[in-house]
A and B are shown apart, each in its own frame.
Chain A
Amino acid sequence: MTNIDIIVFAPLLAAIIAGLGNRMLGNTVAKAITTGALFLSCALSWPIFFGFLSGSTSTSVVPVLDLIHSGDLNVSWSLRVDALTAVMLVVVTSVSALVHLYSWGYMAEDDSQPRFFAYLSLFTFAMLMLVTADSLVQMFFGWEGVGLASYLLIGFWYHKPSANAAAIKAFVVNRVGDFGFSLGIFGTFLVFGTVSIPVILAAAPGMAGSTIGFLGGRFDTMTVLCLLLFVGAMGKSAQLGLHTWLPDAMEGPTPVSALIHAATMVTAGVFMVCRLSPMFQTSPFAMHTVTYVGAATALFAATVGTTQTDIKRVIAYSTCSQLGYMFFAAGVGAYGAAMFHLFTHAFFKALLFLGAGSVIHSMHHEQDMRHYGALRKHIPITFWTMTAGTLAITGVGIAGVFGFAGFYSKDAIIEATFASGTTSGGIAFAIAVFAALLTSFYSWRLLFLTFFGKARWAGSEHIQHAVHAHHDHPEHEHPDEEGAGSDPHAAHGPVVTGTAGYHPHESPWSMLVPLILLTLGAMFAGFLFHGPFIGAEEGAGFWKGSVYFDEHLMHAMHGVPLWVKYSATAVMLTGFAIAWWAYIKDTSIPGRFTATFRGLYAFLLNKWYFDELYDLLFVRPVFAIGRFFWKAGDVGTIDRFGPDGVAAMVVGSGAAARRLQSGYLYTYALVMLLGLSAVATWAMLR
């Protein structure tokens, strides 16, 4: 039993115990077992990470069991630990452990806490399976496992129709991506004859330039495989086109959003691209595609993020946008930078989500920022930790001295896109800088709307409810759906100000401790670790080939012109200034702006009309086809002539047989004689 076994299987064991024991165990025992298991995993993960940092640990593969032996297909289940895995291990176990702890406070009043904690631990196990995968099949197992856990947790409050709808949406949209991923795995097996990742990566360069028949045409083998695998990554990481499930996934409890939909699961796509980076390197076309998709997502999500009013949705779009950053970093070949941003992002985004959860908790489950304001003094710890998170995501820092986490990772990505020198890199650079402006704007907007200005709590139904009836219904969260027609900035016109006599309380310590710990990560993760992750020489020593490491690009990245280096900081300050001007100095600006650019505003508010478009293109036709097959095909044809028709025929002949059974002897004798004659005739004539 090695450490990695304990790290991976302790959460599974805890999930089984808490899940099956459920109410028999009671809340406290179930919570203690799952949280304890996660802290154990976490405590064992950090030494592995530090071992790779110091260079004292080398790649190891721990076999668990032989999974499948069938013909040429050999799948063994083994836990691979290299530098890339080590990074993911600390991210997953740390955030998961803190989220478990945080949930003690956040879910304190929920009815089914053992179930919640069992799901959380189950998710963690699946995620660990994913990141320790030594074969594509095992990765797919973890991939589906996190999808399942995500589905269960989004729909955790299953009595809410909106939560069920969101859970189903997440599952179905991910199925599209998973279909691509599974096709990619099949194709890889077809081409390489194996699903073992190290073997595939070693053989990949030799396959460059070969072609494969696909959908009736001949295409470059590696391009086809990489694009198929990338479709899977797009689904899981909510990239443009397959992103629609992520904002809706905010229906789940906030700790879930922090763990799954910010820090870990959604980064699985980035991890997969990095893990398979030698494959992607063989196909420039696939790399360009990754870059463009990432850049488009970063831009799209950032623009939408500026108009949302639900605090969790703002952060969700922010996540989507940051995932775009990671993808185009990988797309230009800067896998180290992508993983670095994944690493720092996990801390500050989990921090922002958990902070938002703390705000929601104190505001009696009100999630609409229009009904916040002036919370700075009431929940100071939450305020300061979220401020640290905002400083981290916007990338505040002074080069060469100190910066928050995002300063190092995001700037590295921006510099890498510029340094790559390709067209796609150039476009990505322009978008990255613009998206950084938007990031800064919406992040500060969130902070200002929530913590500064006048209290606007009186307009909130949740607050009114809390003031008038002094009991909580945490399971009955009713987040205001921002309808397409409503004007979220109306609050800045006829503002409903006032506290309505409500007194927000700071969250309990079980929630504040994870916030404070994550604050440390948001502050120092970039400063401490930027050397090993993206340093030109140090990086090669750290990654040791677990990702494709382009030393040349890393050198070029550090040698970009000065204006490139400062562009990120400049737009960050600009964004801050705009946000300050519009939400602190003169709060009438947003209202006037939306009145002037009504079309643009509606376009962004409605998320570029993606949901409506998909509804029109896919959902309605599918429903129509389904209805047709149901009414005309199944009921009208198969049932009518199949089961129903046969049944009616049987019943009908039963009635006929009963009529024949008249009760008269002569009828019976006649039937016997007729039968005899018929049989004799048949026997003679045959």
Chain B
Amino acid sequence: MSMIASLALTLPELILSTGALLLLLVAAWGGDGSSRLISWASVALLAIAGLSLGCANGVAFDGLYKADAFSNFAKALVYAAAAVSILIAPRFFEARGAMRAEYPILILLSSVGMGMMVSATDLLTLYVGLELQSLAAYVLASFMRRDSRSAEAGLKYFVLGALASGILLYGISLLYGFTGTTQFGGVATALGDGISHGELFGLVFVMAGLAFKISAVPFHMWTPDVYEGAPTPVTAFFASAPKVAAMALLVRIAVDAMGPATSSWQQIVIFAALASTILGGVAAIGQVNIKRLLAYSSINNVGFALFGLAAGTPDGVAATMSYMAVYIVMTLGSFLCVLQMRNAAGDAVEDIASLSGLSRTRPGLAAAFAIFMFSLAGIPPLFGFWPKFLVFDALVAIGLWPLAMIGIATSVIGAFYYLKIVKTMYFDEPAPAYAPSASRMENGLIALSAVAVSPLGYLAIPLLGALSMAAARALF
């Protein structure tokens, strides 16, 4: 395959990387005053990259990179989440005098990395993409570097991320050493002859490294601290786009490279899924900081998404991808609501108690927040119920119904703290009112996401179901 054809397949990454470099030049000339312009330009680049997804299908660079329905589905979600993360940032940082033109560019570069991750069909592409995403993320976490909590978050994320990268790299080297190849297909062929101890170690280490990225238990410890410390728009970004990318990467490597050893990783995934749903549910109880609570919520949700992968079937993978699609809408909507939590002086408040009586001071916001909470809890008829149903359906289909029952039981624990927020908003005595919303765009985004996860979301089932199924079929 010619170089030109390969470059054509990587068009989204090309657009984003060259665009990011150009915008970096603009930022260097224009300074922070051009940050709004750069933000909009970044969103436009993401939109263009998203539009260019449709025409890409094939293997590039001699099997290092693959554009298919699966990568396109994941990239669409990643770009959308990244765009929202850029859109909500300027107002937040400007209020603190911390808006820098680099913020949208970092998100763009991270998106390039994530695009590489979901398209990777080689252990090397995998690692390059992952590191590109991570390096941008470490900087983003400590973006408000004068704020001690933000700096702490960045540092913790970086150190633990480095440890995870080390684990991942060790796993990769083991796999290469024992199979003699870095290509997913080659690894799969080697594993097909029976799995040696070295290969098994490699497999476990690779999965552990990726589990860190999706913050699955027991590699989740960084999540609450980083989510709490990082600036809220960055937290929203962390909770959405990288989760999708890392989950997609995990799915692809589990199916493409380790497909023959399914029985070896299935139990690891089941353990991680169970531990994540249980710990994500249990530890969230008693949290007083809304961002920390949402961190545990993301751990909990990743657990549910892993149930789909644990099934190991096309239906299960499709369920996982559907889950991630609905999850990013719910979680971004929740963080959009968190962004609205500003006291009369305009400072951000993160206490759950400050939500008391929100239904009387800001009925619209309370209603939207309640919709997200009900949806995250998976209570029908809200849309959050549908992907939960899909993953459990996939488990039941292959006879893993005890697992499905435990999963359903743990979702009850999750429901407790989601509903507690609703109770705080609707039944408690009003706390001092928040500052009125100043951004029509944020209100619009909240309304849009609320409608998407409301029962109206079921109208999207034919489209979403078909796309996620096509994505899953591309792997098998």
Which residues of A are interface residues toward B (Cβ below 8 A)?
Answer: 650-651, 653-655, 657-658, 661, 663, 665, 667-669, 671-672, 674-676, 678-680, 682-684, 686
Contacts and interface: CB of A to CB of B under 8 A. Distances in A.
Nearest to A663: B225
B218 A654 contact: no
Given A676-B208, A683-B264, 10 more contacts: A658-B286, A671-B218, A672-B208, A672-B218, A675-B208, A678-B218, A682-B268, A683-B204, A684-B197, A684-B200
A669 B160 contact: yes
B117 interface: no
24 contacts: A650-B282, A650-B416, A651-B286, A654-B283, A657-B282, A658-B286, A658-B287, A665-B159, A667-B221, A668-B156, A668-B221, A668-B222, A669-B160, A672-B164, A672-B208, A672-B212, A674-B218, A676-B167, A676-B204, A679-B204, A679-B208, A679-B268, A684-B201, A686-B267
A653 B268 contact: no
A660 B90 CA distance: 36
B282 A653 contact: yes
B286 A654 contact: yes
B163 A672 contact: yes
B297 to A, nearest CB: 14
B205 interface: yes
Contacts of B286: 651, 654-655, 658
A182 to B, nearest CB: 35
Interface in B204-227: 204-205, 207-208, 212, 217-219, 221-222, 224-225
Contacts of A675: 208, 217-219
Interface in B280-311: 281-287
Given A665-B159, A669-B160, A657 B283 contact: yes
Nearest to B417: A654
B271 A679 contact: yes
Contacts of B212: 672
A654 B282 contact: yes
Nearest to B221: A668
Interface string B163-196: 1100100000000000000000000000000000
B279 interface: yes
A680 B221 contact: no
A682 B282 contact: no
Contact of A669 (B163, B203, B204, B279): B163
B207 to A, nearest CB: 8
B446 interface: no
Given A650-B285, A671-B218, A683 B160 contact: no
Interface of B: 156, 159-160, 163-164, 167, 197, 200-201, 203-205, 207-208, 212, 217-219, 221-222, 224-225, 264, 267-268, 271, 279, 281-287, 413, 416
A658 B203 CA distance: 31
B298 to A, nearest CB: 15
Contacts of A671: 218, 221
A659 B225 CA distance: 13
Contacts of B204: 676, 679-680, 683
A665 B207 CA distance: 22
Contacts of B217: 675
Nearest to A672: B219
Contact of B279 (A651, A657, A665, A676): A657
A657 B279 CA distance: 8
Contacts of B283: 654, 657-658, 661
A671 B222 CA distance: 11
A60 B279 CA distance: 71
A665 B156 contact: yes
A426 to B, nearest CB: 69
Contacts of A667: 221
Contact of B268 (A658, A674, A683): A683
Contacts of A684: 197, 200-201
Contacts of B268: 679, 682-683
A433 B167 CA distance: 103
Given A675-B219, A683-B264, A651 B285 contact: yes
A682 B224 CA distance: 27
Looking at B159, B203, B208, B282, the one whose CB has the most chain A CB atoms below 10 A away is: B282
A653 B282 CA distance: 7
A544 B325 CA distance: 75
Contacts of A682: 267-268, 271
B116 to A, nearest CB: 24
Looking at A658, A663, A672, the one whose CB has the most chain B CB atoms below 10 A away is: A672
A247 B280 CA distance: 62
Given A650-B285, A680-B201, A661 B219 contact: no
A684 B204 CA distance: 10
A661 B224 contact: yes
Contacts of B159: 665, 669
Looking at A650, A653, A675, the one whose CB has the most chain B CB atoms below 10 A away is: A675
Contacts of B201: 680, 684
A686 B266 CA distance: 12
Contacts of B219: 672, 675
Nearest to A662: B221
User: Which 5 residue pairs of A and B lie closest in terms of their CB atoms, listed nearest first?
Assistant: A675-B218, A657-B283, A668-B221, A654-B285, A654-B282
A292 B208 CA distance: 84
A162 B267 CA distance: 65
Contacts of A663: 225
